[in-house]
Amino acid sequence: MPSRTNILGAIVATIVVSLVFLLWIGWPGFLAVGTGSIFGIAFLIVATSLGDDPSAADDAWRAQAGDLVGSRANEPTDATDGGEPVADGRP
């Protein structure tokens, strides 16, 4: 989900590009709004993809909510690995 800042930036980009194409270049309104919308969607996609890393936020949440998700210290160990935690999908 994009942040409010990214959504606001996309709306501003849509309005600015639409007004430039409508008033300065002189395109018909529906073309100006359509072009502005495409620019706004592209802005939103790029801004969201360059945003914070969701896995870092997930790791931070798990570190603070150990009592809800279980801590890594309580994971079962494999005696053949010298006590290392067992990974999912390993026999």
CA distances from 9 to 15, 16, 55 (A): 10, 10, 24
Integer-rounded Cα radius of gyration of the chain = 24
- Confidence (pTM): 0.56
Contacts of 72 (CB under 8 A, 6+ apart): 85
Read off the pLDDT of residues 13-49 as tens digits, 9 standing for 90 and up. Answer: 999 999 999 999 999 999 999 999 999 999 999 988 8
Q: How confident is the model at residue 83 (pLDDT cuts 50, 70, 90)?
A: low
| Structure confidence at residue 61 (pLDDT) | 79
List the structure tokens of 3: 């942040």
Token pair, residue 10, equals: 């996309």
Q: What is the pLDDT of residue 15?
A: 96
- Residue 86: DSSP 8-state: P
Average pLDDT, the chain: 80
